Structure 1
Amino acid sequence: MDSVKWRKDHYVVNRDSAYADPRIALRKLMGGNRRFIEDKSIRPRQSRQDLTNTEKGQKPFAVIVGCSDSRVPNEIIFDQGVGDLFIIRTAGQVMAAASYGSVEFATVALGSKLIVVLGHQSCGAVDAAIKRPDVPGHIVTLVNSIKPAAQKAKAMGGNMLENAIRANVIDQVNELRDLEPVLAKKYRNGEILIVGAVYNLGTGKVEFLPETLKDLPEFRASTK
Protein backbone atom coordinates (compact mmCIF):
# COMPACT_ATOMS: atom_id res chain seq x y z
CA MET A 1 0.00 0.00 0.00
CA ASP A 2 1.14 3.51 -0.76
CA SER A 3 2.72 4.96 2.41
CA VAL A 4 0.97 8.32 2.07
CA LYS A 5 -2.43 6.62 1.77
CA TRP A 6 -1.62 4.31 4.69
CA ARG A 7 -0.74 7.26 6.91
CA LYS A 8 -3.94 9.03 5.93
CA ASP A 9 -6.06 5.94 6.51
CA HIS A 10 -4.50 5.51 9.97
CA TYR A 11 -4.60 9.20 10.94
CA VAL A 12 -0.84 9.28 11.47
CA VAL A 13 0.67 12.61 12.48
CA ASN A 14 4.41 13.28 12.40
CA ARG A 15 5.89 13.00 15.87
CA ASP A 16 8.42 15.81 15.50
CA SER A 17 5.70 18.18 14.31
CA ALA A 18 3.56 17.18 17.31
CA TYR A 19 6.45 17.92 19.67
CA ALA A 20 6.99 21.33 18.09
CA ASP A 21 3.34 22.49 17.99
CA PRO A 22 0.69 21.62 20.61
CA ARG A 23 -2.17 21.93 18.12
CA ILE A 24 -0.53 19.24 16.00
CA ALA A 25 0.07 17.23 19.18
CA LEU A 26 -3.65 17.42 19.87
CA ARG A 27 -4.40 16.07 16.40
CA LYS A 28 -1.91 13.28 16.99
CA LEU A 29 -3.69 12.20 20.17
CA MET A 30 -7.09 12.40 18.45
CA GLY A 31 -5.79 10.32 15.55
CA GLY A 32 -4.34 7.71 17.88
CA ASN A 33 -7.60 7.38 19.79
CA ARG A 34 -9.50 7.11 16.53
CA ARG A 35 -7.22 4.23 15.50
CA PHE A 36 -7.87 2.59 18.85
CA ILE A 37 -11.66 2.72 18.63
CA GLU A 38 -11.61 1.62 14.96
CA ASP A 39 -9.31 -1.32 15.77
CA LYS A 40 -6.53 0.13 13.61
CA SER A 41 -3.92 0.54 16.35
CA ILE A 42 -0.37 0.52 14.99
CA ARG A 43 1.37 0.33 18.41
CA PRO A 44 4.29 2.57 17.47
CA ARG A 45 7.67 2.59 19.27
CA GLN A 46 6.91 -0.32 21.59
CA SER A 47 9.81 -2.68 20.89
CA ARG A 48 12.73 -3.47 23.17
CA GLN A 49 14.92 -1.38 20.89
CA ASP A 50 12.57 1.58 21.31
CA LEU A 51 12.98 1.24 25.06
CA THR A 52 16.76 1.27 24.89
CA ASN A 53 16.77 4.16 22.41
CA THR A 54 15.33 6.42 25.12
CA GLU A 55 18.12 5.61 27.57
CA LYS A 56 19.84 8.97 27.08
CA GLY A 57 16.78 11.18 27.20
CA GLN A 58 13.12 11.81 26.46
CA LYS A 59 11.02 14.32 24.51
CA PRO A 60 7.35 13.48 25.17
CA PHE A 61 5.06 15.45 22.87
CA ALA A 62 2.17 15.54 25.38
CA VAL A 63 1.55 15.50 29.12
CA ILE A 64 -1.44 13.53 30.39
CA VAL A 65 -2.79 14.38 33.84
CA GLY A 66 -5.06 11.42 34.38
CA CYS A 67 -6.80 9.16 36.84
CA SER A 68 -5.04 6.15 38.36
CA ASP A 69 -7.92 3.88 37.29
CA SER A 70 -6.47 0.67 35.85
CA ARG A 71 -9.05 0.71 33.04
CA VAL A 72 -7.53 3.82 31.45
CA PRO A 73 -4.15 2.78 29.95
CA ASN A 74 -3.00 6.00 28.33
CA GLU A 75 -0.54 4.71 25.73
CA ILE A 76 -3.08 2.12 24.57
CA ILE A 77 -6.13 4.37 24.24
CA PHE A 78 -4.08 7.02 22.40
CA ASP A 79 -2.07 4.39 20.48
CA GLN A 80 1.29 5.92 21.36
CA GLY A 81 4.65 4.44 22.26
CA VAL A 82 7.66 4.66 24.51
CA GLY A 83 8.70 8.25 25.19
CA ASP A 84 5.60 9.84 23.64
CA LEU A 85 3.56 10.69 26.76
CA PHE A 86 4.57 12.13 30.11
CA ILE A 87 1.91 10.82 32.50
CA ILE A 88 0.89 11.99 35.96
CA ARG A 89 -1.83 9.84 37.56
CA THR A 90 -3.78 10.12 40.80
CA ALA A 91 -7.30 9.05 41.75
CA GLY A 92 -9.72 11.52 40.18
CA GLN A 93 -6.64 13.19 38.61
CA VAL A 94 -6.56 15.31 41.79
CA MET A 95 -3.50 17.53 41.80
CA ALA A 96 -1.22 18.83 44.54
CA ALA A 97 2.36 20.13 44.78
CA ALA A 98 4.01 16.98 43.42
CA SER A 99 1.65 16.91 40.44
CA TYR A 100 2.18 20.61 39.75
CA GLY A 101 5.93 20.15 39.86
CA SER A 102 5.75 17.16 37.54
CA VAL A 103 3.75 19.08 34.93
CA GLU A 104 6.09 22.05 35.20
CA PHE A 105 9.09 19.74 34.80
CA ALA A 106 7.64 18.34 31.60
CA THR A 107 7.12 21.79 30.10
CA VAL A 108 10.37 23.39 31.28
CA ALA A 109 12.91 20.56 31.19
CA LEU A 110 11.42 18.30 28.51
CA GLY A 111 9.78 20.85 26.22
CA SER A 112 6.30 19.30 26.19
CA LYS A 113 3.75 21.83 24.90
CA LEU A 114 0.40 20.04 25.20
CA ILE A 115 -1.18 19.22 28.57
CA VAL A 116 -4.35 17.13 28.67
CA VAL A 117 -6.40 16.63 31.84
CA LEU A 118 -8.05 13.26 31.25
CA GLY A 119 -11.07 12.17 33.27
CA HIS A 120 -13.10 9.07 32.62
CA GLN A 121 -16.60 7.64 32.79
CA SER A 122 -17.70 6.02 36.08
CA CYS A 123 -14.88 7.57 38.09
CA GLY A 124 -14.99 6.21 41.64
CA ALA A 125 -13.30 9.24 43.18
CA VAL A 126 -15.87 11.61 41.67
CA ASP A 127 -18.69 9.30 42.73
CA ALA A 128 -17.36 9.42 46.29
CA ALA A 129 -17.33 13.22 46.19
CA ILE A 130 -21.04 13.13 45.31
CA LYS A 131 -22.07 10.49 47.85
CA ARG A 132 -19.59 11.54 50.57
CA PRO A 133 -19.24 8.20 52.34
CA ASP A 134 -17.00 7.79 55.38
CA VAL A 135 -13.54 7.13 53.99
CA PRO A 136 -10.35 6.21 55.85
CA GLY A 137 -6.99 7.95 55.93
CA HIS A 138 -5.86 10.33 53.22
CA ILE A 139 -8.63 9.30 50.81
CA VAL A 140 -10.64 12.17 52.22
CA THR A 141 -8.23 14.64 50.61
CA LEU A 142 -9.19 13.29 47.19
CA VAL A 143 -12.89 13.56 47.92
CA ASN A 144 -12.58 17.09 49.28
CA SER A 145 -10.71 18.25 46.18
CA ILE A 146 -13.52 17.07 43.92
CA LYS A 147 -16.40 18.43 46.06
CA PRO A 148 -16.64 21.76 44.14
CA ALA A 149 -17.32 19.87 40.90
CA ALA A 150 -19.87 17.68 42.67
CA GLN A 151 -21.66 20.78 43.93
CA LYS A 152 -21.81 22.22 40.41
CA ALA A 153 -23.23 18.95 39.09
CA LYS A 154 -26.09 19.07 41.58
CA ALA A 155 -27.33 22.26 39.93
CA MET A 156 -27.36 20.69 36.46
CA GLY A 157 -29.92 18.44 34.82
CA GLY A 158 -29.18 14.94 33.64
CA ASN A 159 -26.72 12.40 35.02
CA MET A 160 -25.08 13.85 38.13
CA LEU A 161 -21.99 11.63 38.00
CA GLU A 162 -21.29 12.33 34.35
CA ASN A 163 -21.79 16.06 34.91
CA ALA A 164 -19.47 16.03 37.91
CA ILE A 165 -16.79 14.17 35.97
CA ARG A 166 -16.84 16.82 33.24
CA ALA A 167 -16.99 19.68 35.74
CA ASN A 168 -14.02 18.22 37.60
CA VAL A 169 -11.95 18.08 34.42
CA ILE A 170 -12.86 21.65 33.50
CA ASP A 171 -12.01 22.86 37.02
CA GLN A 172 -8.64 21.13 36.82
CA VAL A 173 -7.89 22.60 33.39
CA ASN A 174 -8.57 26.07 34.76
CA GLU A 175 -6.47 25.26 37.82
CA LEU A 176 -3.46 24.51 35.64
CA ARG A 177 -4.05 27.49 33.36
CA ASP A 178 -3.95 29.76 36.41
CA LEU A 179 -1.02 28.03 38.12
CA GLU A 180 1.77 30.52 38.80
CA PRO A 181 4.56 31.06 38.12
CA VAL A 182 5.30 28.62 35.29
CA LEU A 183 2.17 27.29 33.60
CA ALA A 184 0.02 30.43 33.75
CA LYS A 185 2.71 32.50 32.05
CA LYS A 186 3.41 29.88 29.38
CA TYR A 187 -0.30 29.45 28.69
CA ARG A 188 -0.97 33.21 28.43
CA ASN A 189 2.04 33.59 26.13
CA GLY A 190 0.76 30.84 23.85
CA GLU A 191 3.76 28.59 24.47
CA ILE A 192 1.62 25.69 25.71
CA LEU A 193 -1.97 24.48 25.46
CA ILE A 194 -3.95 23.00 28.36
CA VAL A 195 -7.18 21.18 27.47
CA GLY A 196 -9.50 18.61 29.00
CA ALA A 197 -11.02 15.31 27.90
CA VAL A 198 -13.14 12.41 29.18
CA TYR A 199 -12.59 8.75 28.30
CA ASN A 200 -15.59 6.49 27.77
CA LEU A 201 -14.93 3.03 29.22
CA GLY A 202 -17.61 1.43 27.07
CA THR A 203 -16.64 2.78 23.65
CA GLY A 204 -12.96 3.60 24.12
CA LYS A 205 -13.55 7.11 22.79
CA VAL A 206 -11.78 10.13 24.26
CA GLU A 207 -13.99 13.21 24.03
CA PHE A 208 -12.06 16.47 24.15
CA LEU A 209 -14.35 18.85 25.99
CA PRO A 210 -15.43 21.78 23.83
CA GLU A 211 -15.50 24.07 26.87
CA THR A 212 -11.71 23.66 27.08
CA LEU A 213 -11.10 24.10 23.35
CA LYS A 214 -12.66 27.56 23.09
CA ASP A 215 -10.64 30.79 22.99
CA LEU A 216 -7.29 29.05 23.08
CA PRO A 217 -4.25 31.33 22.87
CA GLU A 218 -2.49 31.50 19.53
CA PHE A 219 0.53 29.25 19.65
CA ARG A 220 3.89 30.97 19.79
CA ALA A 221 7.13 29.02 20.00
CA SER A 222 9.25 29.90 22.99
CA THR A 223 12.31 32.01 22.22
CA LYS A 224 14.24 30.44 25.07
Structure 2
Amino acid sequence: MSNANGSAAGTTWAALREGNARFMAGLTSADLRRGPHRRAELTGSQAPSAIVFGCADSRVPVEILFDQGLGDLFVVRTAGHVFDASVLGSIEYAVEVLGVPLIVVLGHESCGAVAAATAMVDEGKVPPGSIREVCEHIAPDVVRARIAGAETLTETVEQHASYTAELLRDRSPLIDRAITAGRVSVVPSFYSLGSGEVVEAQPVRRLLAV
Protein backbone atom coordinates (compact mmCIF):
# COMPACT_ATOMS: atom_id res chain seq x y z
CA MET A 1 0.00 0.00 0.00
CA SER A 2 1.42 3.35 -1.01
CA ASN A 3 2.21 5.47 2.04
CA ALA A 4 0.85 2.85 4.44
CA ASN A 5 0.99 4.26 7.94
CA GLY A 6 -1.43 2.23 10.03
CA SER A 7 -3.99 5.04 9.75
CA ALA A 8 -7.58 5.13 8.53
CA ALA A 9 -6.48 3.91 5.11
CA GLY A 10 -5.16 0.64 6.49
CA THR A 11 -8.31 0.11 8.55
CA THR A 12 -10.49 0.86 5.54
CA TRP A 13 -8.58 -1.54 3.28
CA ALA A 14 -8.93 -4.28 5.89
CA ALA A 15 -12.68 -3.61 6.08
CA LEU A 16 -12.97 -3.83 2.29
CA ARG A 17 -11.11 -7.14 2.31
CA GLU A 18 -13.50 -8.41 5.00
CA GLY A 19 -16.44 -7.33 2.86
CA ASN A 20 -14.94 -9.11 -0.13
CA ALA A 21 -14.58 -12.27 1.96
CA ARG A 22 -18.29 -12.08 2.82
CA PHE A 23 -19.11 -11.65 -0.87
CA MET A 24 -17.00 -14.68 -1.78
CA ALA A 25 -18.72 -16.78 0.88
CA GLY A 26 -22.21 -15.62 -0.09
CA LEU A 27 -22.71 -14.06 3.35
CA THR A 28 -23.48 -10.51 2.32
CA SER A 29 -24.60 -8.10 5.03
CA ALA A 30 -24.85 -4.91 3.00
CA ASP A 31 -28.64 -5.07 2.53
CA LEU A 32 -28.93 -3.36 5.91
CA ARG A 33 -27.10 -0.36 4.44
CA ARG A 34 -29.18 -0.15 1.25
CA GLY A 35 -32.69 0.35 2.58
CA PRO A 36 -34.97 3.36 3.23
CA HIS A 37 -33.32 4.26 6.54
CA ARG A 38 -29.87 4.42 4.93
CA ARG A 39 -31.23 6.46 2.02
CA ALA A 40 -32.67 8.95 4.48
CA GLU A 41 -29.32 9.24 6.27
CA LEU A 42 -27.60 10.25 3.05
CA THR A 43 -29.93 12.95 1.74
CA GLY A 44 -27.90 15.78 3.24
CA SER A 45 -24.30 14.61 2.98
CA GLN A 46 -21.92 11.77 2.18
CA ALA A 47 -18.84 10.36 3.89
CA PRO A 48 -17.51 7.44 1.82
CA SER A 49 -14.69 5.45 3.37
CA ALA A 50 -12.80 4.76 0.13
CA ILE A 51 -12.46 5.78 -3.49
CA VAL A 52 -12.50 2.88 -5.94
CA PHE A 53 -11.25 3.65 -9.43
CA GLY A 54 -12.03 0.61 -11.51
CA CYS A 55 -13.00 -0.76 -14.89
CA ALA A 56 -16.46 -0.27 -16.38
CA ASP A 57 -16.74 -4.02 -17.06
CA SER A 58 -20.21 -5.27 -16.09
CA ARG A 59 -18.64 -8.20 -14.23
CA VAL A 60 -16.95 -5.91 -11.71
CA PRO A 61 -19.74 -4.29 -9.63
CA VAL A 62 -17.66 -2.57 -7.00
CA GLU A 63 -20.16 -2.11 -4.16
CA ILE A 64 -21.30 -5.73 -4.51
CA LEU A 65 -17.90 -7.38 -4.57
CA PHE A 66 -16.81 -5.41 -1.49
CA ASP A 67 -20.22 -5.98 0.19
CA GLN A 68 -20.78 -2.26 0.77
CA GLY A 69 -23.94 -0.22 1.07
CA LEU A 70 -25.20 3.15 -0.09
CA GLY A 71 -22.76 5.96 0.55
CA ASP A 72 -19.90 3.66 1.56
CA LEU A 73 -17.77 4.00 -1.57
CA PHE A 74 -16.95 6.80 -4.00
CA VAL A 75 -16.77 4.87 -7.28
CA VAL A 76 -15.31 6.01 -10.59
CA ARG A 77 -15.32 3.50 -13.48
CA THR A 78 -14.05 3.70 -17.04
CA ALA A 79 -12.90 1.06 -19.52
CA GLY A 80 -9.49 -0.16 -18.35
CA HIS A 81 -9.57 2.47 -15.57
CA VAL A 82 -8.28 5.03 -18.07
CA PHE A 83 -8.55 8.58 -16.80
CA ASP A 84 -8.87 12.08 -18.18
CA ALA A 85 -9.37 15.47 -16.53
CA SER A 86 -12.95 14.76 -15.47
CA VAL A 87 -12.00 11.45 -13.87
CA LEU A 88 -9.03 13.01 -12.13
CA GLY A 89 -11.17 15.89 -10.92
CA SER A 90 -13.73 13.45 -9.52
CA ILE A 91 -11.05 11.61 -7.55
CA GLU A 92 -9.52 14.89 -6.37
CA TYR A 93 -12.95 15.99 -5.15
CA ALA A 94 -13.27 12.87 -3.01
CA VAL A 95 -9.77 13.38 -1.61
CA GLU A 96 -9.86 17.13 -1.01
CA VAL A 97 -13.51 17.89 -0.26
CA LEU A 98 -14.78 14.63 1.21
CA GLY A 99 -11.50 13.74 2.94
CA VAL A 100 -11.47 10.11 1.79
CA PRO A 101 -8.28 8.42 3.04
CA LEU A 102 -7.95 5.52 0.57
CA ILE A 103 -7.84 5.17 -3.22
CA VAL A 104 -8.19 1.63 -4.57
CA VAL A 105 -7.25 1.14 -8.23
CA LEU A 106 -9.06 -2.01 -9.27
CA GLY A 107 -7.91 -4.07 -12.26
CA HIS A 108 -9.53 -7.38 -13.04
CA GLU A 109 -9.10 -10.76 -14.67
CA SER A 110 -9.75 -10.93 -18.45
CA CYS A 111 -9.89 -7.15 -18.87
CA GLY A 112 -11.03 -6.52 -22.44
CA ALA A 113 -9.54 -3.03 -22.57
CA VAL A 114 -6.06 -4.25 -21.60
CA ALA A 115 -6.41 -7.21 -23.98
CA ALA A 116 -7.33 -4.85 -26.84
CA ALA A 117 -4.39 -2.57 -26.02
CA THR A 118 -2.10 -5.61 -25.98
CA ALA A 119 -3.40 -6.68 -29.40
CA MET A 120 -2.72 -3.18 -30.69
CA VAL A 121 0.85 -3.31 -29.38
CA ASP A 122 1.58 -6.87 -30.49
CA GLU A 123 -0.40 -7.19 -33.71
CA GLY A 124 -1.18 -3.66 -34.81
CA LYS A 125 -4.92 -4.29 -34.41
CA VAL A 126 -6.47 -0.85 -34.07
CA PRO A 127 -10.03 -0.86 -32.66
CA PRO A 128 -12.71 1.43 -34.13
CA GLY A 129 -13.99 4.75 -32.88
CA SER A 130 -13.03 6.12 -29.52
CA ILE A 131 -12.14 2.62 -28.32
CA ARG A 132 -8.83 3.34 -30.02
CA GLU A 133 -8.22 6.27 -27.68
CA VAL A 134 -8.80 4.05 -24.66
CA CYS A 135 -6.27 1.54 -25.98
CA GLU A 136 -3.77 4.28 -26.76
CA HIS A 137 -3.89 5.33 -23.09
CA ILE A 138 -3.21 1.76 -21.96
CA ALA A 139 -0.62 0.79 -24.60
CA PRO A 140 2.37 2.49 -22.87
CA ASP A 141 1.60 0.48 -19.74
CA VAL A 142 1.51 -2.72 -21.81
CA VAL A 143 4.98 -1.92 -23.17
CA ARG A 144 6.26 -0.97 -19.74
CA ALA A 145 4.83 -4.19 -18.27
CA ARG A 146 6.57 -6.24 -20.95
CA ILE A 147 9.88 -4.59 -20.12
CA ALA A 148 9.29 -5.44 -16.46
CA GLY A 149 8.76 -9.07 -17.47
CA ALA A 150 4.99 -9.46 -17.69
CA GLU A 151 4.11 -12.43 -19.90
CA THR A 152 0.39 -13.01 -19.35
CA LEU A 153 -2.70 -10.82 -19.54
CA THR A 154 -3.17 -11.16 -15.79
CA GLU A 155 0.35 -9.92 -15.10
CA THR A 156 -0.15 -7.04 -17.53
CA VAL A 157 -3.44 -6.07 -15.86
CA GLU A 158 -1.81 -6.06 -12.43
CA GLN A 159 1.06 -3.94 -13.72
CA HIS A 160 -1.41 -1.57 -15.37
CA ALA A 161 -3.21 -1.12 -12.04
CA SER A 162 0.10 -0.29 -10.36
CA TYR A 163 1.09 2.13 -13.11
CA THR A 164 -2.32 3.82 -12.91
CA ALA A 165 -1.78 4.37 -9.18
CA GLU A 166 1.58 5.98 -9.96
CA LEU A 167 0.05 8.11 -12.71
CA LEU A 168 -2.65 9.47 -10.41
CA ARG A 169 0.10 10.88 -8.22
CA ASP A 170 2.17 12.10 -11.16
CA ARG A 171 -0.75 13.89 -12.83
CA SER A 172 -2.28 15.40 -9.71
CA PRO A 173 -0.29 17.67 -7.40
CA LEU A 174 -3.30 17.62 -5.08
CA ILE A 175 -3.21 13.82 -4.72
CA ASP A 176 0.58 13.86 -4.46
CA ARG A 177 0.43 16.36 -1.59
CA ALA A 178 -2.21 14.30 0.19
CA ILE A 179 -0.09 11.14 -0.10
CA THR A 180 3.05 12.97 1.05
CA ALA A 181 1.16 14.37 4.05
CA GLY A 182 -0.11 10.90 4.97
CA ARG A 183 -3.75 11.82 4.40
CA VAL A 184 -4.27 9.36 1.54
CA SER A 185 -2.95 5.93 0.61
CA VAL A 186 -3.27 4.19 -2.76
CA VAL A 187 -3.74 0.44 -3.25
CA PRO A 188 -3.38 -1.10 -6.74
CA SER A 189 -5.51 -4.24 -6.69
CA PHE A 190 -6.71 -7.16 -8.80
CA TYR A 191 -10.13 -8.85 -8.91
CA SER A 192 -10.47 -12.47 -9.97
CA LEU A 193 -13.70 -13.06 -11.88
CA GLY A 194 -13.56 -16.77 -11.11
CA SER A 195 -12.94 -16.72 -7.38
CA GLY A 196 -14.44 -13.32 -6.59
CA GLU A 197 -11.36 -12.37 -4.57
CA VAL A 198 -9.74 -8.94 -4.51
CA VAL A 199 -6.03 -8.87 -3.66
CA GLU A 200 -3.29 -6.26 -3.83
CA ALA A 201 -1.71 -6.23 -7.29
CA GLN A 202 1.57 -8.12 -7.38
CA PRO A 203 4.43 -6.41 -9.25
CA VAL A 204 6.35 -8.45 -11.77
CA ARG A 205 9.80 -9.16 -10.33
CA ARG A 206 11.68 -10.34 -13.39
CA LEU A 207 13.22 -7.55 -15.48
CA LEU A 208 13.79 -8.23 -19.16
CA ALA A 209 16.89 -7.07 -20.97
CA VAL A 210 16.27 -4.12 -23.28
TM range (shorter): 0.7 to 0.9
Is residue 75 from structure 1 mapped to residue 63 from structure 2 by the alignment?
yes
Shift in alpha-carbon separation, 1:193–1:158, aligned structure 2, 3 A = closer
- TM-score after normalising by structure 1: 0.81
- The equivalent position to 1:130 in structure 2, one of 118, 135, 142, is 118
Distance in 2 between residues matched to 1:34 and 1:87, nearest whole Å: 20
- The equivalent position to 1:47 in structure 2, one of 35, 39, 55, is 35
Distance in 2 between residues matched to 1:101 and 1:161, nearest whole Å: 29
- The equivalent position to 2:20 in structure 1, one of 15, 33, 36, is 33
- In the TM superposition, residue 111 of structure 1 has moved relative to its aligned partner by 1.3
Deviation per residue, 1:170-217 (Å, 9 max, x gap): 110111122332100110111100111010000000011255xxxxxx
What secondary structure sits across from 2:19 in the alignment? helix
Segment drifting more, 157-166 vs 179-188: 157-166
Whichever residue aligns with residue 164 of structure 2, its letter is: Q
Shift in alpha-carbon separation, 1:187–1:158, aligned structure 2, 3 A = closer
Stretches of structure 2 that go unaligned for 5 or more consecutive residues are 1-6, 204-210
- In the TM superposition, residue 159 of structure 1 has moved relative to its aligned partner by 4.5
Whichever residue aligns with residue 158 of structure 2, its letter is: R
Distance in 2 between residues matched to 1:208 and 1:191, nearest whole Å: 20
Q: Name the Cα RMSD after superposition.
A: 1.6
Q: Give the number of aligned pairs.
A: 192
Distance in 1 between residues matched to 2:130 and 2:65, nearest whole Å: 30
Stretches of structure 1 that go unaligned for 5 or more consecutive residues are 1-19, 212-224
Is residue 205 from structure 1 mapped to residue 197 from structure 2 by the alignment?
yes
* Aligned 8 A contact 2:158 2:202 in 1: no
Distance in 2 between residues matched to 1:177 and 1:107, nearest whole Å: 12
What secondary structure sits across from 2:171 in the alignment? coil
Distance in 1 between residues matched to 2:68 and 2:118, nearest whole Å: 34
Deviation per residue, 1:58-105 (Å, 9 max, x gap): 000000000000000111100000000000000000011011100000
Is residue 183 from structure 1 mapped to residue 175 from structure 2 by the alignment?
yes
* Aligned 8 A contact 2:42 2:71 in 1: yes
Q: Residue in 2 aligned with 1:12?
A: none
Whichever residue aligns with residue 27 of structure 1, its letter is: A
Task: Considering Cα pairs closer than 8 Å and 6+ residues apart, tell me whether 1 or 2 has the greater RCO.
Answer: 2
Whichever residue aligns with residue 21 of structure 2, its letter is: R
* Aligned 8 A contact 1:66 1:118 in 2: yes
Q: Residue in 2 aligned with 1:166?
A: 158
Distance in 2 between residues matched to 1:82 and 1:158, nearest whole Å: 37
Which residues in structure 2 correspond to 1:204-223 (within 5 Å)?
A: 204-211=196-203
Whichever residue aligns with residue 135 of structure 1, its letter is: P
* Aligned 8 A contact 2:56 2:78 in 1: yes
What secondary structure sits across from 2:71 in the alignment? coil
Distance in 2 between residues matched to 1:163 and 1:23, nearest whole Å: 25
What secondary structure sits across from 1:89 in the alignment? strand
- TM-score after normalising by structure 2: 0.86
